[in-house]
Chain A
């Protein structure tokens, strides 16, 4: 009986301690400076290819941190670029995944909240965590994505 009580108490305390520890987590967040470095690399690639694109960088929550519309880019790409970036950020995967799903017959993917199933959004990953995403729009889907990937790749060098 006593043993049982002690055991229960110990278990309870252990659970309490675990709960206390889990009240807050440390997270890394992408800064504006980091977003600028990512966008600058994407911009350089776009210019080298003569690509006219919008480059959008969003944070982990999918909210816009930085946007650049290169000269002579179609204005409709502003929203498409932001949408692609948000999709990649909040679903933590390239937006191409959803485009592929739809193309391969999973039409229901069109109903996902907050996602645009269009190739060109790529997550920004630092030490295995998605801290945001970059979305590119304006040229072909694969060129958009290549430019986004070039930008996102910069994050590999980010450490706090």
Chain B
């Protein structure tokens, strides 16, 4: 009997281990800074509408860490920290902070000791969880309006604004961009001189997308390139070149943030590239078009 129990326990452990390994990582949504700004904007609009005397509005992520804060003109300075505390408390407990204020008021005084382990525990009305598809993705805290009641009313309006928000603001990705269409003539013109098809703007990488597309054209050999963040996916269209990848660059210089160049490299692998070839050069790997049979045209997608 004891043996049977042990065996069953063993089987259960194996089963649970296998199921937990299948789910060792789960997807979740998180609020972006853009999403947080929109929540604050909706709250500020409501504060203006109801003529609130002021207000600090804090938006935190699911872990209770501050994402964005605004303190309206004339609002008392301490309200900023109180707003953060309300938002943090609401996010970490996935509850409106009024719950705690009420519980304490109704006699559960010992609840104030929760502050011992939780940084900035603030059991004061005015913190509301931000929910997306039934999941808490953060919280909003308001302090400094006319009353605790009004603090909460403003926070509720801010939290509700998430309902009408497009999903993109609550993913870890970025806003969906319009479809990009570049007609063949323009593409050909870019290849003629070498140019950037997509991504040559201020927000080229971080803000709106995580890729760039280059129509690259080479007449002669280049420098050794190292992209700290960008992976190059290369498709050769015309001409040929000798590509050296890896090795140890010599005389490396920083030419832009996260971009390095060198005149030479020791070692590395040599490949001859011809039309139709595809090469993927991960970020951080030195690469050098050492010899070029011009014109050498290649399409590059840079992924960050």
**How many residues of A are in contact with the other chain, CB < 8 A?**
26
Shortest beta-carbon distance, A131 to chain B, in Å?
A: 13
Quick one: closest B residue to A68, CB to CB? B68
Once bound together, how far apart are the Cα atoms of A61 and B81, in whole Å?
14
B65 with A75: CB separation less than 8 A: yes
Q: A31-B73, A32-B73, A49-B257 are in contact. Are A69 and B205 (CB under 8 A)?
A: no
Q: A50-B258, A50-B304 are in contact. Are A66 and B69 (CB under 8 A)?
A: yes
A64 with B32: CB separation less than 8 A: no
Once bound together, how far apart are the Cα atoms of A44 and B201, in whole Å?
11
Once bound together, how far apart are the Cα atoms of A66 and B66, in whole Å?
11
Residue of A52, A61, A68, A71 near B77 (CB, 8 A) is: A61
Chain B 181-207 per-residue mask, 1 if CB under 8 angstroms from chain A, else 0: 000000000000000000000111111
B contact patch SS: loop
Residue of B33, B66, B204 near A71 (CB, 8 A) is: B33
Residue of A31, A51, A70, A75 near B33 (CB, 8 A) is: A70
Q: Does A17 count as interface, using CB distance less than 8 angstroms?
A: no
Q: A67-B66, A78-B66 are in contact. Are A50 and B33 (CB under 8 A)?
A: no
Once bound together, how far apart are the Cα atoms of A49 and B80, in whole Å?
29
**Using Cβ atoms and an 8 Å threshold, which residues of chain A touch B202?**
44, 47-48
Shortest beta-carbon distance, A121 to chain B, in Å?
A: 17
Chain B 13-45 per-residue mask, 1 if CB under 8 angstroms from chain A, else 0: 000000000000000000011000100000000
Once bound together, how far apart are the Cα atoms of A44 and B65, in whole Å?
22
Q: Does B291 count as interface, using CB distance less than 8 angstroms?
A: no
**Using Cβ atoms and an 8 Å threshold, which residues of chain B touch A64?**
56, 69, 71, 80-81
A63 with B66: CB separation less than 8 A: no
A48 with B203: CB separation less than 8 A: yes
Residue of B63, B69, B77, B78 near A67 (CB, 8 A) is: B69
Once bound together, how far apart are the Cα atoms of A75 and B153, in whole Å?
28
Residue of A50, A61, A69 near B68 (CB, 8 A) is: A69
Within residues 66 to 84 of chain B, which ones have a CB less than 8 A from any CB in chain A? Answer: 66-73, 77-78, 80-81
Q: Does B172 count as interface, using CB distance less than 8 angstroms?
A: yes
Q: Does A59 count as interface, using CB distance less than 8 angstroms?
A: yes
**Using Cβ atoms and an 8 Å threshold, which residues of chain A touch B37?**
68
Shortest beta-carbon distance, A52 to chain B, in Å?
A: 8
Q: Does B229 count as interface, using CB distance less than 8 angstroms?
A: yes
**Using Cβ atoms and an 8 Å threshold, which residues of chain B touch A51?**
206, 257
Shortest beta-carbon distance, A68 to chain B, in Å?
A: 5
**Using Cβ atoms and an 8 Å threshold, which residues of chain A touch B68?**
66-69
Residue of A31, A63, A68 near B80 (CB, 8 A) is: A63
Quick one: closest A residue to B207, CB to CB? A47
Shortest beta-carbon distance, A71 to chain B, in Å?
A: 5
Quick one: closest A residue to B229, CB to CB? A50
Q: Does A65 count as interface, using CB distance less than 8 angstroms?
A: yes
Shortest beta-carbon distance, B232 to chain A, in Å?
A: 16
**Using Cβ atoms and an 8 Å threshold, which residues of chain A touch B78?**
63
Question: Which 10 pairs, one residue from A and one from B, show the smallest C-beta to C-beta distance?
Answer: A63-B77, A75-B65, A64-B80, A67-B69, A49-B257, A47-B207, A78-B66, A50-B206, A47-B206, A69-B67
**Chain A residues packing against B (C-beta within 8 Å):** 31-32, 36, 44, 46-52, 59, 61, 63-72, 75, 78, 143
Given contacts A48-B204, A50-B257, 15 further A-B contacts (CB under 8 A): A46-B206, A47-B202, A47-B203, A50-B206, A50-B304, A51-B257, A52-B206, A61-B77, A63-B78, A64-B81, A66-B70, A66-B71, A68-B67, A71-B206, A78-B65
20 contacts between A and B (CB under 8 A): A32-B71, A32-B73, A47-B206, A47-B207, A50-B229, A50-B257, A50-B304, A51-B257, A61-B77, A63-B80, A64-B56, A64-B69, A66-B71, A67-B69, A68-B33, A68-B67, A69-B33, A69-B66, A71-B32, A75-B63
